[in-house]
Structure 1
């Protein structure tokens, strides 16, 4: 994250497990979501499991700022999840922070 943002920051994260590890990863990621929901600067944190690849998960997130996202990444529940899940991951999680772009119908392009 090279550009700090004062307003909301959106994140999509992709967590890909090794083949056959989705059922092991899911409870770890649920625990991570539960911990994340307690963070005051978390506006949204949704966990999804892949339809075509059940060993792949995504999160859709919204944070009050880039500082809030950085603080989240250093929380004990994130560090615990990374440590517990590490051996089951096919690759490091892909974390894509972004800023919203006004486009089309605002009621359908904002979350």
Structure 2
């Protein structure tokens, strides 16, 4: 079963542009990982929102130990206003599945 993750990242204001560059640089690397169905970087007034979908919990777990994430964590050190807020989501069936669920 696919796993959906939302990561909320809040950079310190003076590091926002640098954090954007770090995040955009890892996206292609994560896209190439086995099991990645979606890895979408978005931005709002508070920072960045990464929306992810993985084919399975196993693929997500593997992602956590691969170089792209490790590189990102090292590069972000000292640049964040608070820790990354990770949300692991489960779909709630409602309405038309073609419009009501994240899908690959």
Same fold (TM over 0.5): yes
Partner residue, 1:63: 54
Aligned to 2:64: 73
Query: TM-score, with normalisation over the residues of structure 2?
Result: 0.92
**Cα distance, 1:94 vs structure 2:** 1.0
Tell me the TM-score normalized by structure 1.
0.86
| Runs of 4+ residues over 3 Å off in structure 1 | none
Residue ranges of structure 2 left out of the alignment (5+ in a row):
none
* Contact 1:12–1:96 (CA under 8 A) maintained in structure 2: yes
More divergent stretch after superposition (90-99 vs 21-30)? 90-99
| Runs (5+) with no aligned partner, structure 1 | 1-6
Look up the match of 2:10. Answer: 16
Please give the root-mean-square deviation of Cα atoms over the aligned residues, in Å. Answer: 1.0
